[in-house]
Amino acid sequence: MSDKRILFVSGSIGLGHVTRDLALARELRALGGVNIAWLAAPPADRVLRDAGEELHPSCSRLVDMSAIAEAQTSRGRLNLIRYALGARKTWGRNFDAVDEAMTQGEFDLLIGDETYELALGYRKEPDRKKRPFVMIYDFVGFDALSKHPLEQIGVYLWNRTWAGKSAGARTYVDLGLFIGEEEDVPDLRFGPFLPSRREWAKTRCTFVGYVLDFDPLRYRDAAALRRELGYDQSPLVICAVGGTSIGRELLELCGGAYPILEQSIPDLQMILVCGPRLNPRGIRAPDGVRIERYVPELYKHLAACDLAVVQGGGTITLELTALRRPFIFFPIEGHCEQEGAVADRLARHGAGIRMRTSATNPSQLAEVVLREMSRPARWPEISADGARRAAEAIRKLL
Regarding whether 54 and 169 lie in a shared domain, the answer is yes
List pLDDT tens digits, range 317-330.
999 999 999 999 99
Contact 272, 258 (CB under 8 A): no
Mean pLDDT of the chain: 92
DSSP lists the bridge partners of residue 313 as none
- Which candidate, 288, 25, 329, 321, places its Cα nearest to that of 181? 321
| Percent of the chain whose predicted confidence (pLDDT) is above 70 | 98
pLDDT digits (tens, 9 = 90+) for 19-73: 999 999 999 999 999 999 999 999 999 999 999 999 999 999 998 888 888 887 8
Which structural domain range is residue 260 located in?
Answer: 216-372
Average pLDDT value for residue range 285-302: 95
What is the per-residue pLDDT across 245-271, written as a single tens digit (0 to 9) for each?
A: 899 999 999 999 999 999 999 999 999
State pTM to two decimals. 0.94
Is 367 exposed, middle or buried, given 0-12, 13-18 or 19+ CB atoms closer than 10 A? middle
Query: What's the pLDDT at 170?
Result: 54
Query: What pLDDT does residue 57 have?
Result: 94
Count of positions (residues) in the chain? 398
Question: For residue 169, is pLDDT > 70?
Answer: no
Q: Is 377 inside any structural domain? A: no
Q: Which whole number is the average pLDDT over 166-194?
A: 86
Same domain for 167 and 21? yes
Q: Which helix (H) or strand (E) holds 115?
A: none
Flag whether pLDDT at 165 surpasses 80. Answer: no
Confidence grade of residue 128 (pLDDT, cut at 50, 70, 90): very high
379 domain residue, yes or no: no
Residues 238 and 104 in one domain: no
Q: How confident is the model at residue 168 (pLDDT cuts 50, 70, 90)?
A: very low
Q: Decide if pLDDT at 211 tops 70.
A: yes
* Shared-domain flag, residues 200 and 265: no
Total domains in the fold of the chain:
2
Domain containing 317 — which CATH number? 3.40.50.2000
Same domain, 221 and 294: yes
88 beta partners: none
The model's pLDDT over 131-147, given as tens digits with 9 standing for 90+, comes to 999 999 999 999 988 88
Higher pLDDT, 13 or 395: 395
User: What are the backbone angles phi and psi of residue 205, rounded to the nearest 5°?
Assistant: -125, 155
Pair 121, 223 in one domain: no
| For residue 213, pLDDT beyond 70 | yes
CA distance 141 to 282: 35
The pLDDT, as a whole number, for residue 201 is 96
Instruction: Please give the helix or strand (H or E) that residue 102 lies within, else none.
Output: helix 91-105
Q: How confident is the model at residue 167 (pLDDT cuts 50, 70, 90)?
A: very low
Regarding whether 307 and 199 lie in a shared domain, the answer is: no
Task: State whether 289 and 203 are in the same domain.
Answer: no
Query: What is the pairing mode between strands 269-273 and 289-292?
Result: parallel
Q: How many Å apart are CA 349 and CA 345, to the nearest integer?
A: 6
| Residues 355 and 391 grouped into a single domain | no
The answer as to whether 185 is a domain residue is: yes
Average pLDDT score over residue span 303-320 = 96
Amino acid at 385: D
Mean pLDDT calculated for residue range 354-376 = 95
Within a domain: residue 25?
Answer: yes
Higher per-residue confidence, 87 vs 186: 186
Q: Which segments within the chain are labelled E, that is strand?
A: 4-10, 34-39, 109-113, 133-137, 175-179, 205-209, 236-240, 269-273, 289-292, 307-311, 327-330, 353-354
Q: Is 48 inside a domain boundary? A: yes
pLDDT in tens, 328-359: 999 999 888 999 999 999 999 999 999 999 99
Instruction: Kindly report the backbone phi and psi dihedral angles of residue 92, in degrees, each rounded to the nearest multiple of 5, phi listed first.
Output: -60, -35
Task: Work out whether strand 109-113 and strand 133-137 pair parallel, antiparallel, or are unpaired.
Answer: parallel
